Structure 1
């Protein structure tokens, strides 16, 4: 007989055995992501479904009090539906008006379901899950809140015809590009964090991340970063924009880079700086021997999507889901 259990520590969760479909998830995320609750559905000693809830500190949604569901996994549709019904009621009891997910607390961490997989294999740091999991949520009454995509530039040998003009224009305006200084990594991350807060503040579901959490998120990537693929645009020693790319470590051919983050200070927008950073990092990747670039995880309405469309087509689509709650 299945039962629901409120898990309070990673050690308590470790005392249970996950179903094979749930194996591989790091229970230490409970300590790092600090959810307000973590629930499991289990039978005897086997976890059949799991998820975490956030309601105290969550991304804002106009005219709503959102609750967030993340760390989701389920061995089967019935277990997933049972757990989702329970946690939606739990969020409603906390005064939430809408449930959003999947999202591991905020949009700085893993969120979204893959909705159209395409033919490409998963790339490094891409959210990935069994194809059944979005259907669990839809069966539980969740609808689409936002849509996202990843694009693919299949040929980095093709020169961007806009780049010479952008080079001349932005260099004349006093902008200079440099690569990331790995020997001063924390200082560089601090500057990138401050610019990110300004650049992303108007993004959908934006929630400011404290500097210490940002550093904890990116420090584990240090050994995997090629500083030649992280470009910073400065003018008068002020950071105005950056593009963060890294190799796709999941692809056996090692021929692909992931353009993960593009940010431009709002006061510097509209002058082509985002397009310049994208073109330059792809040019540099091609010089390093990479053949392809993934433009990763863009919200459909974002300017970065329009930049990406200059170079290729969508390779994957994603959704973020929501459900109206009633107390």
Structure 2
């Protein structure tokens, strides 16, 4: 029989964090997170997400062994922003269907205790970070800040009564697949017609550039399904982490008439480094980190957006065209554009026209209580 108990002690938290290392020990595509970062993630004193949300962690056990884990995430910012009355499940792992059913049932009980009327997920801990169950392409490694799971997890969710809430698409650009000719012609027309300024981020003005990025991110995505703004503390924390790996030449701002209009941001795929580190900086992980520039040959286009008043002018194509040329010049061989909402037709059509291939889908599930 499987029992699910809350994480109450340091030893419980250690088991919660380390369980995926045991579960995926023979999986060639799982990328282990840094243990030091995972401990920080679940520390309310160090993770600013806890300033507007509560996370309760649970472990599933059977015959004295851990067979799963899950988090119940009650996010005030999400419910306030979208007028919802739900909690999220996240950080889900299960050894089998029995463990999965017990974990889902415990999250649902937590939701009822709080008076919530639905459970949605997975979100780890929000849609601003890894979200969704992967549905396909299980023979590929996940890109930075994207989730990974076995093929069984979507089946477990559906068997427990969860239904699709939204699909998230991941598109892949490859160096040996030339950029669509239409994109080049459109980019040239956009330059001629609107005279936009496309410039890389200025590393010497980090704080100012960060403020511009947050302004664009908040405004460009504010009406997206499920979008919740980062708090200043969350955004600063994210920027501090990414500053170690982001190449300013692959962070492009578009300006119109001297004002910021849009942004495209590519992140070198640090997962290629983390996979070698096996969760630890010491004794040898630090060597891989120091060699990260030579190891990483993949990118993730994590942000591509325009302010509402500058859409439908072809500026997205201009950003993609410029980033593609810069990435090829720097020797990158692949770039994943993720994630894109399934019903963002303009972006999905544009990426397809640019020569990208839809190769992976993630699904957000929901269950009414």
TM-score interval (norm. to shorter): 0.7 to 0.9
Q: Are 1:93 and 2:102 an aligned pair?
A: no
Partners of 2:261 and 2:9 lie apart in 1 by 42
Partners of 1:69 and 1:212 lie apart in 2 by 23
Q: 5-14 or 237-246, which moves further after superposition?
A: 5-14
Contact 2:2 2:98 in 1 (8 A): no
Q: 246-255 or 106-115, which moves further after superposition?
A: 246-255
Which residue of structure 2 lines up, in the alignment, with residue 30 of structure 1?
42
Which residue of structure 1 lines up, in the alignment, with residue 23 of structure 2?
21
Equivalent position SS for 1:36: strand
Partners of 2:70 and 2:15 lie apart in 1 by 16
Classify 1:239/1:45 alpha carbon distance in 2 versus 1 (closer, same or farther; 3 Å): farther
Contact 1:58 1:67 in 2 (8 A): no
Q: Are 1:287 and 2:329 an aligned pair?
A: yes
Partners of 1:289 and 1:275 lie apart in 2 by 21
**Greater fraction helix:** 2
Partners of 2:171 and 2:40 lie apart in 1 by 32
List alignment gaps of at least 5 residues for structure 2.
Answer: 26-31, 274-294
Q: Are 1:132 and 2:152 an aligned pair?
A: yes
What is the TM-score of this pair, normalised by structure 2?
A: 0.79
What's the Cα RMSD here? 2.7
List alignment gaps of at least 5 residues for structure 1.
Answer: none
Q: Identify which of 127, 145, 149 aligns with 1:107.
A: 127
Deviation (angstroms), 1:112: 0.6
Partners of 2:2 and 2:242 lie apart in 1 by 39
Classify 1:6/1:152 alpha carbon distance in 2 versus 1 (closer, same or farther; 3 Å): same
Q: 1-10 or 74-83, which moves further after superposition?
A: 1-10
Partners of 1:255 and 1:114 lie apart in 2 by 23
Q: 284-293 or 99-108, which moves further after superposition?
A: 284-293
Which residue of structure 1 lines up, in the alignment, with residue 285 of structure 2?
none
Alignment of 1:198-209 (within 5 A): 198-209=219-230
Contact 1:256 1:291 in 2 (8 A): yes
Contact 2:73 2:89 in 1 (8 A): yes
What is the TM-score of this pair, normalised by structure 1?
A: 0.88
Which residue of structure 1 lines up, in the alignment, with residue 347 of structure 2?
304
Deviation (angstroms), 1:260: 1.6
Contact 1:40 1:50 in 2 (8 A): yes
Which residue of structure 1 lines up, in the alignment, with residue 7 of structure 2?
7
Q: Are 1:226 and 2:247 an aligned pair?
A: yes
Q: Identify which of 97, 110, 129 aligns with 1:77.
A: 97
Q: Are 1:116 and 2:128 an aligned pair?
A: no
Which residue of structure 2 lines up, in the alignment, with residue 53 of structure 1?
72
Partners of 1:114 and 1:271 lie apart in 2 by 33
Which residue of structure 2 lines up, in the alignment, with residue 148 of structure 1?
168
Classify 1:251/1:106 alpha carbon distance in 2 versus 1 (closer, same or farther; 3 Å): closer
Q: How many pairs are equivalent?
A: 325
Contact 2:186 2:317 in 1 (8 A): no
Deviation (angstroms), 1:101: 0.4
